Amino acid sequence: MKPDLAAGQETVEDVCAACHGADGNSTISANPKLAGQHAEYIRKQLQDFTPPEDGKPARRASAVMGAFASSLEPQDIVNVAAYFAAQKLTAPAAASNAELVELGQSIYRGGIAAKGVPACAACHGPAGDGMPAQYPQLRGQFAEYTTAQLVAFRDGARKNNHPMAEIALRMTDPEIKAVADYIAGLRPEGGTPEAKPADAPKPEADKKDEADE
Kindly report, residue by residue over 14-59, the tens digit of the pLDDT: 999 999 999 999 999 999 999 999 999 999 999 999 999 998 999 9
Tell me, yes or no, whether 30 lies in a domain.
yes
In-domain check, residue 212: no
Last residue of a domain, one of 85, 120, 142: 85
The answer to whether residues 143 and 171 belong to one domain is yes
Q: What is the CATH number of the domain that holds 102?
A: 1.10.760.10
> How does pLDDT run across 148-198, given as a tens digit for each residue?
999 999 999 999 999 999 999 999 999 999 999 999 999 997 555 545 444
Alpha-carbon span 45 to 37, nearest angstrom: 12
- Residue 204 inside a domain? The answer is no
Same domain, 68 and 122: no
81, 181, 191 from 195: Cα distances, Å:
32, 9, 12
